[in-house]
Amino acid sequence: MNYTTYDPATGEIIYNISISHADLMESNLRDHTYIEGKYSSDEYYIDQGRAIPLPIKPQDELEYCFDWTNKSWMVDQDRSMSTVRQQRNNLLSTVDRINPVWYASLTTEEQNQLVAYRQQLLDVPQQAGFPTDIVWPAKPTWL
């Protein structure tokens, strides 16, 4: 038989266990709250002894973690900051890889646009909405 152990205060699934003999059940599950069946914490929480599907996770570029107390998805600030910084760094690498000879062949206006674009990318983490509400700078059309 398969059993799922969980935290009765939050409903968070702790682990699954398979027990083939009824006599082993008591010794293995004695100090745990459990239900029959195999449920994943990626898909369910337990409420009043029943497995409940997690709400649908938001589908955007942010990172989320499940709040077991409120039963909702919350933005994981640390992971989201890291993800957004990585996106910003990828954009910066495009600018930073520009060959100096090619840069010198740009007009003064193009050079100024490139410098301004690079600075705006560097300033992304200082935006008031960082990391959940980012206004990405417009890349020069010629780049």
- Give pLDDT, residue 19: 85
Average pLDDT over residues 130-141: 94
Average pLDDT over residues 102-115: 95
In this structure, are 36 and 80 located in the same domain?
no
In this structure, are 68 and 119 located in the same domain?
yes
Size of the chain, expressed as the number of residues it contains: 143
Q: Rg for the chain (alpha carbons), in Å?
A: 25
- Give pLDDT, residue 58: 93
Residue 58 DSSP class: P
In this structure, are 50 and 107 located in the same domain?
no
The string of pLDDT tens digits covering residues 21-49 is: 766 666 667 778 999 999 999 999 999 99
In this structure, are 34 and 81 located in the same domain?
no
In this structure, are 15 and 84 located in the same domain?
no
Question: In this structure, which long-range contacts are made by residues 61-66, counting pairs with CB atoms below 8 Å and at least 24 apart in sequence?
Answer: 61/87, 62/131, 62/132
Residue with tokens 């993800």: 83
The residue from 54, 76, 94 where one domain ends is 54
- Give pLDDT, residue 73: 96
In this structure, are 50 and 68 located in the same domain?
no
- Give pLDDT, residue 22: 66
Domain that holds residue 79: 63-143
**Number of domains composing the chain:** 2
